């Protein structure tokens, strides 16, 4: 769910809506994770995490406010929003399974390897069923970018996230869904010429305040 299905629906969502709307959808991850932990593990719902989650959603909404109204020709925002929410739900269900695995004493790296294998097989079957072709370019740019994605964007990133999840739970670690778009904007400003606006700074400040609320000890 986390390594395959969630990504597939992100790709479908971004065919119909701008990436900012997808980011806003994923900023709801801690809120959904909190309800999921309540439903499956009887973890109490705390006002502090709920408030922090709402601040995260509001902050990311402000950050991407200039982009949210930019619809392209042929966009279907309702369909894109539906794909986004399906993706978020798959991602958080995967996080809850990982939380359960941690509580059951299943080793993180082994369970991650199996999860990535299942996710890759699911994505391969999905792509084949959709009539997509498989291709590999033996060029330095392609190989280096693929290596970066495998090592840093997948193995180390998910290893770090799942370690965090085991320590603080799915709801609080779900705040990664708020912080990742902010980090992406910093990188975009450095390499892609992203221009910061007043709403960008205010949105980041609100998101960071929510982060403090979610992560601080009671």
Position 27 scores a pLDDT of 87
pLDDT for 21 equals: 81
Q: What is the pLDDT of residue 183?
A: 86
pLDDT in the model for residue 65? 83
As to burial, measured by CB atoms within 10 angstroms (0-12 exposed, 13-18 middle, 19+ buried), residue 164 is: middle
Q: How far apart are CA 31 and CA 34, in angstroms?
A: 5
> Which residues, including other chains, have CB under 8 Å from residue 183's CB and lie 6 or more apart?
none
Q: From residue 51, how far is each of 35, 48, 74, 112, 218 by CA, in Å?
A: 13, 5, 36, 31, 14
Give the SS3 label for residue 131: coil
Q: For tokens 């959808």, name the residue.
A: 25
User: Inter-axis angle of helices 77-103 and 19-26, to 10 degrees?
Assistant: 40
Helix crossing, 77-103 with 108-129: angle to 10°?
A: 150
pTM of the model: 0.83
Give me the tens of pLDDT residue by residue for the chain, a chain 218 residues long: 999 999 999 999 988 887 888 888 888 888 888 899 899 988 888 888 899 999 999 998 888 887 776 666 666 778 888 999 999 999 999 999 999 999 999 999 999 999 999 999 999 999 999 999 888 999 999 999 999 999 999 999 999 999 999 888 888 888 888 988 888 888 888 887 878 888 889 999 999 999 888 888 77
């Amino acid at each position: 769910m986390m390594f395959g299905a969630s990504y597939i629906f992100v790709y479908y969502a971004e065919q119909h809506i701008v990436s900012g709307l997808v980011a806003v959808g994923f900023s709801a991850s801690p809120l959904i994770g909190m309800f999921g932990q309540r439903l499956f593990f009887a973890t109490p719902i705390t006002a502090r995490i709920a408030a922090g989650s709402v601040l995260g959603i509001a902050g990311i909404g402000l950050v991407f406010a200039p982009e949210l109204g930019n619809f392209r020709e042929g966009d279907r925002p309702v369909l894109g929003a539906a794909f986004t929410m399906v993706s978020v739900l798959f991602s958080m269900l995967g996080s809850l399974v990982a939380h359960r695995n941690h509580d059951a004493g299943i080793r993180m790296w082994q369970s991650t390897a199996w999860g990535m294998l299942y996710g890759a097989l699911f994505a391969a079957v999905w792509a084949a069923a959709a009539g997509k072709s498989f291709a590999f370019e033996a060029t330095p740019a392609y190989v280096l970018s693929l290596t970066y994605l495998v090592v840093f964007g997948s193995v180390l990133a998910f290893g770090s996230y799942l370690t965090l999840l085991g320590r603080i739970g799915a709801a609080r670690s779900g705040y990664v869904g708020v912080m990742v778009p902010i980090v992406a904007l910093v990188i975009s400003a450095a390499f892609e010429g992203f221009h910061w606006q007043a709403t960008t700074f205010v949105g980041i400040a609100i998101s960071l305040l929510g982060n403090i609320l979610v992560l601080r000890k009671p």
